[in-house]
Amino acid sequence: MTLEVIVLAAGKGTRMRSALPKVLHELAGRPLLEHVLDTVRALTPTRIHVVCGYGAESVREQLADAEDLNWVEQAQQLGTGHAVRQALPDLEPGSLALVLYGDVPLIRADTLRALLERASGGPALLTAEVKDPSGYGRILRDGAGAVEAIVEDADASETQHDITEINTGFIACPADRLRIWLDEIDDSNRQREYYLTDVVGRAVHAGATVASVSCADPDEIAGVNSQAELAKVERCFQARQAESLMDAGLNLRDPARFDLRGNLHFGEDCVFDINVVVAGDVTLGSQVSVGPNCQIIDSEIGNGVEIRANSVIEGVKIADHCSVGPFARLRPGTVLDAGARVGNFVETKNATLGEDSKANHLAYVGDATVGHRVNIGAGVITCNYDGANKHPTVIGDDAFIGSNSALVAPVTVGKGATVGAGSAVTRDVPEGQLALTRAEQQVRAGWQRPKKEKKN
């Protein structure tokens, strides 16, 4: 039996207090809906149908690269049963339908597989036992323990409100039977909506067995309806990731203060201090040390690298045994060759620092190619932008750039050349030569500093 997945993603999410469609709010740097889609893809369905409504154009645009999705629009939000009806015409006869939600991102593929295994002859529900069932539909069972109906929270009696087994909203059912039972439900309830859960009562009436699978982990079924709930789900997701990374050998000084918003690959004996954020695709070698409050985005970092506190690294390639920070910012296009050092309050962009070169403090190096064993002093800047275009700076091996100098690009400083402190270099400096542009110092004997007049 082929599998067809229906993801309900039409809600606005009024309690989010946001113009953004709820399923596009981000969890670990990606939309909630993307997490759900990644999970169901692990089930290898024939097709994935996404039912969207509020902000449908934005949702489709955000996931435009996902070619395996069939978009279904629910123009009016008349309940979950109505939403599923919109997708039914696209389901293949004889298939098995799985219905889940775009705002419940922590569900695991293994849990869904267990649900699908119980749905060969009729509906199978994912249920859970919770301490506080408020807001959830309650599972009603007969004397033998068989599921006979689901009653929504708004329609439940006082006695039914005490039931702690709840409906999670996930249901698997043969598509042909689901189609029949959905055609039989109506909106005769307090909400005046077509409830998907009413399918259970119709199935029981038709003599079908309604199976159930209990979800042991309440985090899996946590939906996102408010900013507070989104924050809780974020912490749950990050805790999962931290545990998985530590199992793989990563040393996290405090896993509760670590965020991964992408993919992280690493070698042996890597250590992360607190409040490190990793985003995009990041690869580390072995024995990499990352200090507190660092952000690393889409970068490759070699063996034995030390990244000190409060550094930001984005779109960078760092070779073995380099040192970065503290308080350094390495922007996209930066390449550090082996043994290079970038120190505190240094910013680089589209720049290569050769082996054992160093810019230890208070410098800006942009659109530059720096050779081996170059020393870039404090306060040095490469003036790469003329207000319209960017220009390159080239610094040869073993050059020395004195403090508080400006290299006005395009310009080349030759091998072994020296730029004296405080110089503004506007022409190329030959190999091995000294360039000085500062004014000659003057000392005025007997000069007196002005003094304020005393007031009477």
Rounded average pLDDT per 10-residue block, the chain, 456 residues: 94 90 95 97 96 91 90 90 93 95 96 94 92 91 90 90 94 94 88 88 90 94 95 97 98 97 98 98 98 98 98 98 98 98 98 98 98 98 95 98 97 98 96 93 90 81
Q: Is 372 a catalytic residue?
A: no
Cβ-Cβ contacts under 8 Å for 138 (sequence gap 6 or more)? 150, 151, 153, 156, 160, 161, 163, 165, 166, 167
Query: And the tokens for 24?
Result: 């596009």
Q: Read off the pTM.
A: 0.89
Fold of 3-221: Spore Coat Polysaccharide Biosynthesis Protein SpsA; Chain A (3.90.550)
SS3 state of residue 191: coil
CA–CA gap between residue 356 and residue 188 (Å, rounded):
76
Convert the pLDDT of each residue in 2-56 to its tens digit: 999 999 999 888 899 999 999 999 999 999 999 999 999 999 999 999 999 888 8
Topology of domain 227-435, CATH = UDP N-Acetylglucosamine Acyltransferase; domain 1 (2.160.10)
User: In the structure encoding, which two tokens stand for residue 91, read together?
Assistant: 């389901």
Q: Which helix (H) or strand (E) holds 335?
A: strand 335-336
DSSP string, 264-298: EE--SS-EE-TTEEEEEEEEE-SS-EE-TT-EEES
What residue ranges do the domains of the chain occupy? Answer: 3-221, 227-435
pLDDT digits (tens, 9 = 90+) for 197-210: 889 889 998 989 89
Burial of 213 (0-12, 13-18, 19+ CB in 10 A): buried
Q: For a pLDDT cut of 70, what percent of the chain falls above it?
A: 100
Q: Name the phi and psi angles at 69, rounded to 5.
A: -105, 140
Q: Where are the beta strands (DSSP E) in 69-143?
A: 69-73, 96-101, 124-129, 138-141
Tokens of 352: 């290569």
Strands 26-27 and 3-9: unpaired
Question: Which secondary-structure segment (H or E) carries 4?
Answer: strand 3-9
Q: What is the pLDDT of residue 437?
A: 94
Q: How many angstroms separate the CA atoms of 230 and 54, rounded?
A: 19
What SS3 string covers 210-234?
A: CEEEECCCHHHHCCCCCHHHHHHHH
> Contact 380/407 with Cβ under 8 angstroms?
yes
Distance, in Å, from the CA atom of 288 to the CA atom of 302, rounded to the nearest integer, reads 8
* Strand, helix or coil for residue 344: strand
Residue in 35, 49, 82, 361 annotated catalytic: 361
Residue among 128, 5, 133, 15 nearest 69 (CA): 5
- Please determine whether the domains at 3-221 and 227-435 fall in the same fold group of CATH: no
Is residue 346 within 8 Å of 365, Cβ to Cβ? yes
